[in-house]
């Protein structure tokens, strides 16, 4: 009778033997191979224990020195980068402010010097009232405010993010289960695989904690700032009903009257200097005065040194505290200083005058259809042609009866080209001009002018033109096809919102607009709307 067999296939020897099953790997081993298999498992366990001890050492090190974690290094780097960006931006803004503030301070110094002169004059003459004191007080308050808070410089906080915020995010669903392994010497390959996987997970968790992360927010943490210089267009507006500040007492030759006033300028003390053309005199009308005083001419029409003949324009020479007059009827440019007269340029059909920041004198010649420039104090020559000079015409290198002129900070020349009904801008050393206002024939549309008179430019390079034939003052921005009416434009008349052939223009230091309302024989002040 045969013995019953309980043998199965041994996994190692691939033959039938009495075999024992490994629960971890579900394989059959003979007794000899099972012992070897157990030895291999013991070696794997030793390896896991070594890895575990290394992990424990690293974990304890991080507990003692959490600042060495890689996430801390990310935070440190974010801090360094952010501080560097902020410091660079702050220094950039400081540099812009320091450079720009010097210009503002120069303007304030100029006003302060004028105020100081007024205070000295009041002390010397000992003639003042409460109105004078209030004016001085208000001027000082305005200068103090301008010094502390320059109106042309501001700090703008941008809406776009400059530096993004970061934050520590703590997870709410961490299920950290670490099973304690009891070395009871009862384990299999399944147990070892579990331990290995758990150790891998814990190592990953230690290096990159799932419950802690750094998040860069989309919302701005620190907004960018920048220095804003008020070069960006601010379109000033003025009250449409003017105040008559000089004349307005009908046509005449009394000190409270004018006879076709033409060129004007407003001084630092708000005194108005007027070329009273048909009275052959220059009048200074002090602030809030009831009448003016003759400071040049006024001795009848004539060509003697102390007489004028239809003066069209007057400007101030700050260097020697004199005035310079376009004595049109006598074909000469004459300087008056403390009742002393000197002919600077003769044999010239002068109408418009201007002086640049370097002291060069510019004169328009209506007969030669050109503008010439002279160096101050050197008038024994013919000067230099800086605009026109190519005969009468309507080409860009020609002029047709140029009257008033203006020179900006860049020494560009703006010319009222009367019979071409346009204003031309000639850049320094240019061979021809560009049309910056009008140039579309004579007319009353917004892209037209009619015999343009005085032209002045504000600090934003906006162009203001006395539109003589249209009874209005126009503002043009270079490059625009049409202008806009700023005051007047309500038909010819003598009401407070009307003009009658305006000729001269000027701003005071507060931005109020003054107009020589020629045929109404008055000077109108349009107050700025702040």
User: What is the pTM (predicted TM-score) of this model?
Assistant: 0.61
Alpha-carbon distance of 174 to 517, in angstroms, equals 85
The answer to whether residues 320 and 396 belong to one domain is: yes
Within-domain flag for 262? yes
Asked, for residue 344, whether it belongs to a domain, the answer is yes
Are 340 and 242 within one domain? yes
Helix, strand or coil for residue 56?
helix
- 245 shares a domain with 215: no
Q: CATH number of the domain that 262 lies in?
A: 2.120.10.30
**Residue found by looking up tokens 């660079």 in the block:** 88
Residues facing 146 on adjacent strands? none
- The reported pLDDT for the residue numbered 414 is 98
Instruction: Say whether both 40 and 86 belong to one domain.
Output: no
Please indicate, yes or no, whether residues 156 and 247 belong to a single structural domain of this protein.
no
Assess whether pLDDT exceeds 60 at residue 220.
no
pLDDT tens digit string along 386-401? 999 999 999 999 999 9
35 with 97, same domain: the answer is: no
Give the mean model confidence (pLDDT) for residues 297-323: 93
Rounded mean pLDDT, 506-524: 96
Its sign, for the CA torsion 141, 145, 150, 156, is negative
Residue 75: closest CA among 209, 170, 165, 208: 165
In this structure, are 32 and 92 located in the same domain?
no
pLDDT at 185: 60
- Whether 93 and 225 have beta carbons less than 8 Å apart is answered as yes
Distance, in Å, from the CA atom of 240 to the CA atom of 488, rounded to the nearest integer, reads 7
Cβ-contact 504, 311 below 8 angstroms = no
Is 49 contained in some domain?
A: yes
Condensed to tens digits (0 to 9), the pLDDT of residues 4-24 reads 445 565 555 555 666 666 666
Average pLDDT over residues 369-394: 94
How many domains does one find in the chain? 3
Residue 91 in domain: yes
Q: 57 and 159 share a domain?
A: no
Whether the per-residue pLDDT at 62 is higher than 50: the answer is yes
Same-domain check for residues 385 and 517: yes
Which range of residues forms the domain containing residue 145? 79-170+211-229
Please say which residue of 201, 229, 257 terminates a domain: 229
Could you give the angle at which helices 31-64 and 189-207 cross, rounded to 10 degrees?
20
pLDDT at 171: 40
Q: For residues 40 and 128, state if they share a domain.
A: no
Q: Are residues 299 and 380 in the same domain?
A: yes
Q: Which of 373, 429, 435 is nearest to 398 (CA)?
A: 435
* pLDDT per position as a tens digit, 74-128: 777 777 877 887 887 778 778 777 777 777 777 777 777 777 877 887 777 777 7
Please state the φ and ψ torsions of residue 10, each to the nearest 5 degrees.
-75, 135
403 within 8 A of 364, measured Cβ to Cβ: yes
Instruction: Give yes or no: residues 225 and 242 share one domain.
Output: no
Residue with tokens 């505290």: 321
Average pLDDT over residues 158-181: 50
The pLDDT, as a whole number, for residue 213 is 56
Residue 516 pLDDT: 98
């Amino acid at each position: 009778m045969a013995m019953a067999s309980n043998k199965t296939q041994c996994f190692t020897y691939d033959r039938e033997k009495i075999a024992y099953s490994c629960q971890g790997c579900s394989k059959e081993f003979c007794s000899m191979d099972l012992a070897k298999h157990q030895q291999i498992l013991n070696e794997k366990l030793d390896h896991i224990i070594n890895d575990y001890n290394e992990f424990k050492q690293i974990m304890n090190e991080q507990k003692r020195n959490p600042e060495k974690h890689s996430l801390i290094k990310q935070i440190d780097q974010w801090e360094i980068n952010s501080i560097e960006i902020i410091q660079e931006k702050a220094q950039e803004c400081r540099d812009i402010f320091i450079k720009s503030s010097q210009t503002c301070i120069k303007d304030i110094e100029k006003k302060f010097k004028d105020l100081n002169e007024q205070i000295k004059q009041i002390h010397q003459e000992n003639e003042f009232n409460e109105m004078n004191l209030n004016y001085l007080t208000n001027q000082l308050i305005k200068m103090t405010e301008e010094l502390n808070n320059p109106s042309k410089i501001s700090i703008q906080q941008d809406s776009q993010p400059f530096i993004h915020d970061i934050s520590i995010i703590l997870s709410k669903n961490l299920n950290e289960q670490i099973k304690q392994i009891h070395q009871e010497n009862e384990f299999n390959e399944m147990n070892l695989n579990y331990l290995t996987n758990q150790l891998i997970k814990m190592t990953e968790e230690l290096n990159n904690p799932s419950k802690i992360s750094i998040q860069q927010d989309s919302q701005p943490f620190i907004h960018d700032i920048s220095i804003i210089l008020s070069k960006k267009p601010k379109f000033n507006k003025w009250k449409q009903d003017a105040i008559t500040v000089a004349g307005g007492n009908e046509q005449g030759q009394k000190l409270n009257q004018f006879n076709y006033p033409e060129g004007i300028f407003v001084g630092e003390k708000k005194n108005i200097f007027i070329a009273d053309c048909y009275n052959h005199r220059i009048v200074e009308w002090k602030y809030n005065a009831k009448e003016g005083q003759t400071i040049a001419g006024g001795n009848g029409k004539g060509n003697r040194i102390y007489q004028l003949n239809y003066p069209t324009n007057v400007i101030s020479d700050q260097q020697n505290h004199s005035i310079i007059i376009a004595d049109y009827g006598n074909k000469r440019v004459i300087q008056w200083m403390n009742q002393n007269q000197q002919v600077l340029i003769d044999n010239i059909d002068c109408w418009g005058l201007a002086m640049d920041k370097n002291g060069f004198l510019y004169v328009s010649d209506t007969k030669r259809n050109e503008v010439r420039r002279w160096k101050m104090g050197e008038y024994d020559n013919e000067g230099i042609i800086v605009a026109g000079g190519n005969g009468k015409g309507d080409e860009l290198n020609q002029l047709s009866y140029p009257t008033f002129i203006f020179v900006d900070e860049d020494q560009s020349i703006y010319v009222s080209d009367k019979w071409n009904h346009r204003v031309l801008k000639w850049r320094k050393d240019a061979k021809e001009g560009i049309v910056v206002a009008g140039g579309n024939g004579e007319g009353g549309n917004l892209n037209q002018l009619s015999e343009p008179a005085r032209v002045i430019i504000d600090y934003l390079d906006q162009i203001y033109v006395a539109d003589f034939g249209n009874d209005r003052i126009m503002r043009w921005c270079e490059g625009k096809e049409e202008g806009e009416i700023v005051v007047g434009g309500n038909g010819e008349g003598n009401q407070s919102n009307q003009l009658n052939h305006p000729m001269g223009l000027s701003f005071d230091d507060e931005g109020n607009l003054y107009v020589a309302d020629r045929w109404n024989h008055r000077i109108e002040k349009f107050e700025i709307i702040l």
